[in-house]
């Protein structure tokens, strides 16, 4: 059976992964999702192997067998779960669901529920000259409050590019892809950073229909509870001390109706 192979070496997380799959669309998805950490050749030999086909080469294996009709998202979820488990196994790290941008060594993490506009806001800020740290997965060292660069390509919904152009007069270059019937626009920001940035604030995005922007600074207990909701590990209670440390940097619920107002708010945070 012919297979497609890709290696993923995530910074701060060991071991690396080798994915060997007979479904080329899976490796294509991974190349987009984990760029620039997806490689065709391994840079180190301490990696686990996830096989989606029968391959025997003596490497350490973590088998995940799929049924013929299994969706890509289920396979990706398995792989991401493996990465997240290893991230939490590293002393002091927490992974949150959201994006992060930076300026002058300071970072703002942007969290929120689905359709809150996390990726759209991250793309908007990057297009406006903010430095790109990460999208969808925010990796933070709770001991130092440093946000680690984890720069995957930003996956936007198919109408986001036209929205940014039509409403905010921002043009971004994207690649349009179809992943098992899901249309996505792939945006690769140019203002990336390779250094860590100090976590200045965490904002929880909430959409509102009109009325500008308002914010609510959460008290310590509320901030802790909210952050644990956005943690990527199902056993967040085991890492409550890490969440408590991160919550002390400041967590705010932000209600916004447009990105212009959100930008003003973020600029005040960085001031």
Residue-level pLDDT, tens digit, the chain, 271 residues: 455 677 777 666 666 677 776 666 677 777 777 766 776 555 544 455 555 443 333 333 344 444 444 566 666 777 777 777 777 777 788 889 999 999 999 999 999 998 999 999 999 999 999 999 999 889 899 999 999 888 878 889 888 999 999 999 999 998 887 765 677 888 888 877 778 899 999 999 999 998 889 999 999 999 999 999 999 876 777 889 999 999 999 999 999 999 999 999 999 999 9
For CA atoms 124, 129, 130, 136, the dihedral sign is positive
DSSP assigned state of 233: -
Token pair, residue 146, equals: 């440093």
pLDDT digit string, tens, across residues 119-165 = 999 999 999 999 999 998 898 999 999 998 888 788 898 889 999 99
- DSSP for 40-64, please give it: SS-S-S-EEEEESS---SS--EEE-
- Please report the pLDDT score of residue 153 as a whole number: 82
- Please report the pLDDT score of residue 61 as a whole number: 39
Q: Are 140 and 133 in contact (CB under 8 A)?
A: no
- Please report the pLDDT score of residue 136 as a whole number: 86
Token pair, residue 80, equals: 């991401």
- Please report the pLDDT score of residue 73 as a whole number: 66
Q: Are 271 and 263 in contact (CB under 8 A)?
A: no
- Please list the residues that pair with 4 across neighbouring strands: 21
Three-state DSSP state, 53: coil
pLDDT digit string, tens, across residues 155-180 = 898 889 999 999 999 999 988 877 65
Q: Are 170 and 124 in contact (CB under 8 A)?
A: yes
């Amino acid at each position: 059976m012919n297979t497609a192979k890709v290696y993923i070496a995530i910074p701060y997380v060991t071991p690396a992964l080798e994915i060997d799959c007979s479904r080329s669309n899976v490796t294509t998805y991974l190349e987009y999702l984990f760029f620039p950490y997806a490689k065709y050749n391994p840079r180190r030999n301490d990696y686990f192997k996830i096989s989606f086909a029968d391959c025997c080469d003596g490497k350490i294996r973590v088998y995940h067998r799929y049924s013929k009709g299994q969706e890509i998202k289920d396979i990706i979820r398995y792989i991401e779960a493996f990465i997240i488990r290893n991230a939490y196994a590293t002393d002091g790290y927490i992974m949150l669901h959201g994006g992060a941008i930076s300026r002058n060594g300071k970072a703002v993490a942007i969290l929120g529920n689905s359709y809150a506009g996390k990726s759209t806001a991250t793309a908007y800020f990057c297009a406006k000259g903010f430095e790109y740290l990460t999208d969808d997965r925010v990796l933070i060292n709770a001991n130092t409050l440093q946000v680690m660069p984890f720069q995957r390509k930003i996956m936007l919904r198919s109408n986001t590019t036209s929205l940014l152009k039509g409403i905010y007069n921002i043009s971004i270059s994207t690649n349009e892809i179809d992943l098992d019937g899901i249309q996505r626009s792939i945006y690769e920001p140019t203002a990336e950073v390779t250094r860590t940035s100090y976590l200045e604030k965490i904002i929880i995005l909430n959409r509102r229909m009109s009325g500008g922007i308002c914010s609510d600074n959460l008290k310590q207990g509320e901030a802790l509870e909210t952050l644990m909701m956005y943690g990527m590990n199902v056993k967040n209670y085991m890492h409550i001390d890490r969440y408590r440390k991160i919550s002390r940097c400041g967590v705010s619920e932000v209600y916004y109706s447009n990105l212009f107002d959100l930008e003003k708010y973020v600029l005040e945070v960085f001031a």
